[in-house]
Chain A
């Protein structure tokens, strides 16, 4: 790769390992593949317990665990300007050329993008979730997103539904938003070596047992399926506030021998739970992409899912049976899945998934977005402020004030400690290519 095209990327989010989830996985795998493409990648997140400071992980990926205490739902406390000194230091010392923020409700992401734009860096934002428009929380978050994306270089969404949602919420021009789906580490999610017996059909559910993931729907679906099919058994992995309702349902319908409640399943053991079943059931009420169904399909399971958000875009029609988020429709979809189960070849499904969903492909597509972002013209403060003014009669003026203060604070920092006084970090170069992870697809 030519030196000119080598990007130096700072990935910023409150959500990163040792926390587990879709965003965390996305940042890790994308970073690893960008490293193999010859870019420099640095991750910035908040400290997790005693995991603080700088960590170097696989493939030369450098992670800054900044000692900011999480405030709520693994988010740092919103200070607006409190993160400016550390973000500036990292941007200068790592010679960053582009900042990539992940997840709309990550405080650290929103603040980092704001400071990066103040300092003249190009920024890219990836939205991983869908949001509503009516409730108080969504209205507030949408205004924050509008502020963050008012001056973003490019944006990425994980599905076309997610793109539509983001454009509507933020008022961002659609031509600035790219759709790059998630991928799956197929090496980690392999089907069972031997095909399972069809005498007993096992339906697997792995999700957080919360309202958004459709736990209330499961409470009504499971008894209906058990009535229709005496040879069906359920394995439920996951924990959450709705676990009590599922246990009550199990007691009420005397399904203790047919519904196994595993509780929280560590990410490393998800594959071993998946390969013990024939069908994967996803009952989410809202989902931007749903990596869980990718993992299940990679393990050779036929998926039954609610037709919500970006789910219909994820898998080919012969790998998934879709249903409306309604108990009767879900039961019918499961019945249909049981009928077509003999036609499913887990090994073939795994090979197809390997071709369809590759992290290297995601990285190459993201690289194109980075190239586009760096070609965006540089704008002075006044040109940028005009964008914020369009965010609303009151909000626009408030956003402008926030940005002016940020600009002044940045210049004060420049006077107090000029860029020349911040030490640049030497790059760790790998002599042998084998030292880098070679494959994530």
Chain B
């Protein structure tokens, strides 16, 4: 099952052993354009450094450094995909994939999950829905999607699947 909106694509795979829910960030035109320009400049600037005199070289080095840092900041913590893999009677694996290629994984045994909950979160500027797990022995709620804030219609099927798996409907 695939569902999309302006920001996210929700993909659901279901087998008897695994229930996988992916939340993929849709490409943002402005970010893609900026990355293209930045990469282009990163390739062009070294050639310009060879051609130009020493006076301009320091300036170009600074420009190079700034562009490199911008690309790093865009790639490093930018999330491409967040997934939840539900293994009934075994556990839940939460996965975050960053644009840089690095992945963060966390496994929570089913015996430790007390209840999945849908929360309304409030920040000083906005409100959004979040899906969390009440985990035994932990003071704070565990967020299923740490970085992304998908709409409620994408969270409800995941919440229902978690409720079924955790047997707390």
Contact B120 A425 (CB under 8 A): yes
Contact B6 A67 (CB under 8 A): no
CB distance from A220 to the nearest CB of B (A): 48
- Asked whether A312 is an interface residue with its Cβ less than 8 Å from the other chain, the reply is no
- Asked whether A381 is an interface residue with its Cβ less than 8 Å from the other chain, the reply is no
Q: Which residue of A54, A82, A423, A425 is within 8 Å of B122 (Cβ)?
A: A54
Known A421-B6, A423-B151, A423-B152: A90·B127 in contact at CB below 8 Å: yes
Q: Which residue of A68, A93, A423 is within 8 Å of B124 (Cβ)?
A: A68
Q: Which residue of B119, B123, B129 is within 8 Å of A423 (Cβ)?
A: B129
Residues of A within 8 A of B (CB): 52-54, 64-68, 82, 85-86, 89-90, 93, 421, 423, 425
Interface residues of B in 115-136 (CB under 8 A from A): 119-129
Q: How far, in angstroms, from A82 to B128 measured CA to CA in the complex?
A: 18
Known A421-B6, A423-B151: A86·B120 in contact at CB below 8 Å: no
Q: What are the residues of chain B within 8 A of A54 when measuring CB–CB?
A: 119-122, 127
Contact A52 B129 (CB under 8 A): no
Known A421-B6, A423-B151, A423-B152: A93·B122 in contact at CB below 8 Å: no
CB distance from A71 to the nearest CB of B (A): 14
Contact B120 A53 (CB under 8 A): yes
Contact A86 B151 (CB under 8 A): no
Q: A418's closest neighbor in chain B, by CB?
A: B6
Q: What are the residues of chain A within 8 A of B121 when measuring CB–CB?
A: 53-54
Contact B6 A89 (CB under 8 A): no
Q: What are the residues of chain B within 8 A of A93 when measuring CB–CB?
A: 127
Interface residues of B in 77-113 (CB under 8 A from A): none
Q: What are the residues of chain A within 8 A of B120 when measuring CB–CB?
A: 53-54, 425
Contact A65 B129 (CB under 8 A): no
CB distance from B120 to the nearest CB of A (A): 4
Known A90-B127, A93-B127, A421-B6: A64·B122 in contact at CB below 8 Å: yes
Q: How far, in angstroms, from A52 to B124 measured CA to CA in the complex?
A: 10
Q: Which residue of B126, B129, B152 is within 8 Å of A86 (Cβ)?
A: B126
A-B contact pairs, 7 of them (CB 8 A): A54-B119, A67-B124, A85-B125, A89-B125, A90-B127, A423-B129, A423-B151
Q: How far, in angstroms, from A425 to B120 measured CA to CA in the complex?
A: 10
Known A423-B129, A423-B151: A86·B124 in contact at CB below 8 Å: yes
Contact A86 B125 (CB under 8 A): yes
Interface residues on chain B, number (Cβ under 8 Å):
14
Tally of contacts, chain A with chain B, CB under 8 A: 39
List of 6 A-B pairs having minimum Cβ-Cβ separation, nearest first? A54-B120, A85-B125, A53-B122, A89-B126, A89-B127, A86-B125
Known A54-B120, A423-B152, A425-B120: A85·B126 in contact at CB below 8 Å: yes
Q: How far, in angstroms, from A325 to B142 measured CA to CA in the complex?
A: 59
CB distance from B156 to the nearest CB of A (A): 10
Q: How far, in angstroms, from A421 to B8 measured CA to CA in the complex?
A: 12
Q: B6's closest neighbor in chain A, by CB?
A: A421
Contact A66 B152 (CB under 8 A): no
Q: Which residue of B6, B122, B152 is within 8 Å of A52 (Cβ)?
A: B122
CB distance from B141 to the nearest CB of A (A): 11
Q: How far, in angstroms, from A65 to B122 measured CA to CA in the complex?
A: 8
Contact A66 B124 (CB under 8 A): yes
Q: How far, in angstroms, from A425 to B129 measured CA to CA in the complex?
A: 10
Q: What are the residues of chain A within 8 A of B119 when measuring CB–CB?
A: 53-54
Q: What are the residues of chain B within 8 A of A425 when measuring CB–CB?
A: 120
Q: A52-B122, A86-B122 are in contact. List 10 more A-B contacts (CB 8 A).
A: A53-B120, A54-B120, A64-B122, A82-B124, A85-B125, A85-B126, A86-B126, A90-B127, A423-B129, A423-B152
Q: B151's closest neighbor in chain A, by CB?
A: A423
Q: What are the residues of chain B within 8 A of A85 when measuring CB–CB?
A: 125-126
Q: How far, in angstroms, from A299 to B112 measured CA to CA in the complex?
A: 51
Q: How far, in angstroms, from A53 to B128 measured CA to CA in the complex?
A: 11
CB distance from A314 to the nearest CB of B (A): 38
CB distance from A227 to the nearest CB of B (A): 57
CB distance from A268 to the nearest CB of B (A): 28
Contact B127 A86 (CB under 8 A): yes
Q: B121's closest neighbor in chain A, by CB?
A: A53
Q: How far, in angstroms, from A425 to B127 measured CA to CA in the complex?
A: 11
Q: A44's closest neighbor in chain B, by CB?
A: B122
Q: What are the residues of chain A within 8 A of B124 when measuring CB–CB?
A: 66-68, 82, 86
Q: How far, in angstroms, from A241 to B127 measured CA to CA in the complex?
A: 40
Q: A47's closest neighbor in chain B, by CB?
A: B122
Q: What are the residues of chain A within 8 A of B127 when measuring CB–CB?
A: 54, 64, 86, 89-90, 93
Q: What are the residues of chain B within 8 A of A68 when measuring CB–CB?
A: 124
CB distance from B167 to the nearest CB of A (A): 25
Q: How far, in angstroms, from A82 to B126 measured CA to CA in the complex?
A: 11
CB distance from A310 to the nearest CB of B (A): 36
Q: How far, in angstroms, from A90 to B124 measured CA to CA in the complex?
A: 12
CB distance from A65 to the nearest CB of B (A): 7
CB distance from B129 to the nearest CB of A (A): 7
CB distance from A255 to the nearest CB of B (A): 51
Q: A82's closest neighbor in chain B, by CB?
A: B124
Contact B152 A67 (CB under 8 A): no
Q: B120's closest neighbor in chain A, by CB?
A: A54
Known A421-B6, A423-B151: A66·B122 in contact at CB below 8 Å: yes
